[in-house]
């Protein structure tokens, strides 16, 4: 039986640095746990543009369609700011999402105990926080037609269309309910059914899917603006939140900052099951390419490491090993080992990017 396949796209800025630490951990799993992956590497973003003149080549796109999972670092940087919109680094990532039809974006917001004082909220509000936002990723207002800027009389008019089909809503709702069954068995669906017809349809379809297929899961509905307020008031009331593309973009960034550092936050984008039963999947840290610190050894690799943990759980059915890796990250933080983004407190030990990766591997060793 062949090993599961993984395509690594390190990208730009700090992407190659944080991905190097993930490669160490992948090697550790192969050596110490007998869990090996067939790993290939390729280019995306500015790195691909420099070589191919496009942010994602057709050959790389074909590889992404064939592997069991894609692990991406980060894309972009000031070097590419003046490029035409069609070839900007970010277009490579968007092409991956669209052509792989990665419709369910999973953004966990987990506050490690050792970092609870980094949040702008009170420690008791965020300590132990563990929620999952499921954002619909391939439809909605970012893709709806008509769109554009037109001229009406003497002024310009900007147009974007919020559009959802029943099937688009149903499939992301199922993703949320399936996740909830493996967590706290509770889903809150967020929309604006009070002012938007698409919100009315969203609420109706989510309720229909729940009643017909997931009656065992607790379901509630909330207007998205009220959801934002509740996330900052008492976020631990939520388990899984499912919402559309626009609101998911906003709410997941809000939830990210509850935890105190973008450098700690992973994400997964999942699509329909492939022939082997695994979903098409792309995993990436939430943070950007941080070109201002690229090459300095200051980048925090934990978000990328935790993205690989999500891959272990959702693409490779290795939940126990995902737990092991997440516990290792938590153990390192509990010892006070910190990268540059987490140094604004006393009694911590500064660590470079590679030193943080080594510390996680040491914690993995201790777990044996």
Active-site option among 27, 101, 130, 225: 225
* CA separation for the pair 71, 265 (Å, rounded): 14
Active-site option among 49, 68, 88, 192: 192
Active-site residue 142, yes or no?
Answer: yes
Active-site option among 101, 130, 253, 323: 253
Active-site option among 142, 236, 323, 335: 142
Active-site residue 225, yes or no?
Answer: yes
* CA separation for the pair 140, 309 (Å, rounded): 29
Bridge partners of 11? 74
* CA separation for the pair 160, 145 (Å, rounded): 7
User: What distance separates the 2 farthest-apart alpha carbons in the chain?
Assistant: 71
Contact 173, 189 (CB under 8 A): yes
Exposure b/e, 169-185, CB count within 10 A at least 16 = b = bbbbbbbbbebbeeebe
The whole-angstrom distance between residue 27's C-alpha and the CA centroid of its chain comes to 23
Q: What are phi and psi of 119, to 5 degrees?
A: -70, 150
Helices (H), 38-165: 46-52, 58-66, 89-99, 123-126
* CA separation for the pair 159, 332 (Å, rounded): 48
Active-site residue 253, yes or no?
Answer: yes
* CA separation for the pair 359, 332 (Å, rounded): 6
Active-site option among 42, 68, 239, 249: 249
Residue 293 C-beta-side C-alpha neighbours within 13 Å: 19
DSSP labels for 300-314? --HHHHHHHHHHHHH
* CA separation for the pair 80, 91 (Å, rounded): 12
Contact 40, 68 (CB under 8 A): no
- Catalytic residue list: 142, 192, 225, 249, 253
């Amino acid at each position: 039986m062949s090993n599961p396949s993984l395509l690594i796209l390190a990208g730009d800025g700090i992407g190659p640095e944080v991905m190097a630490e993930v490669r160490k951990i992948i090697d550790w799993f192969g050596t110490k746990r007998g869990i090996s992956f067939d790993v290939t590497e390729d280019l995306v973003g500015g790195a691909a543009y420099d070589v191919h003149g496009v942010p994602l080549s057709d050959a790389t796109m074909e590889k992404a369609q064939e592997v069991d999972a894609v692990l991406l670092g980060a894309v972009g940087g000031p070097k590419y700011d003046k490029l035409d919109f069609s070839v900007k680094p970010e277009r490579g990532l968007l092409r991956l999402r669209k052509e792989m039809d990665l419709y369910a974006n999973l953004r966990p917001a987990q506050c490690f105990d050792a970092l609870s004082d980094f949040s702008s909220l009170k420690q008791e509000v965020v300590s132990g926080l563990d929620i999952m936002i499921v954002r619909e990723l391939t439809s909605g207002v970012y893709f709806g037609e008509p769109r554009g800027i037109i001229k009406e009389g003497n002024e310009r008019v900007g147009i974007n269309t919020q559009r959802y089909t029943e099937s688009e809503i149903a499939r992301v709702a199922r993703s949320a309910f399936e996740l909830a069954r493996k967590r706290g068995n509770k889903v809150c669906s967020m929309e604006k059914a009070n002012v938007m017809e698409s919100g009315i349809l969203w609420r109706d379809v989510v309720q229909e899917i729940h009643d017909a297929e997931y009656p065992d899961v607790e379901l509630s509905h909330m207007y998205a603006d009220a959801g934002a307020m509740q996330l900052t008031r008492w976020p631990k009331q939520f388990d899984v939140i499912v919402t559309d593309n626009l609101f998911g973009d906003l709410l997941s960034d809000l939830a990210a900052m509850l935890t105190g550092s973008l450098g700690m936050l992973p994400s997964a984008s999942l699509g329909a099951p492939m022939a082997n039963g695994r979903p098409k999947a792309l995993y990436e840290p939430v943070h950007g390419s941080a070109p201002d610190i690229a090459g300095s050894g200051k980048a925090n690799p934990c978000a990328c490491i935790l993205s690989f943990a999500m891959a272990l759980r959702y693409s490779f059915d290795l939940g126990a090993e995902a737990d092991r890796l997440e516990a290792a990250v938590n153990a390192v933080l509990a010892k006070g080992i910190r990268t540059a983004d987490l140094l604004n407190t006393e009694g911590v030990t500064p660590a470079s990017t590679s030193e943080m990766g080594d510390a996680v591997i040491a914690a993995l060793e201790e777990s044996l």
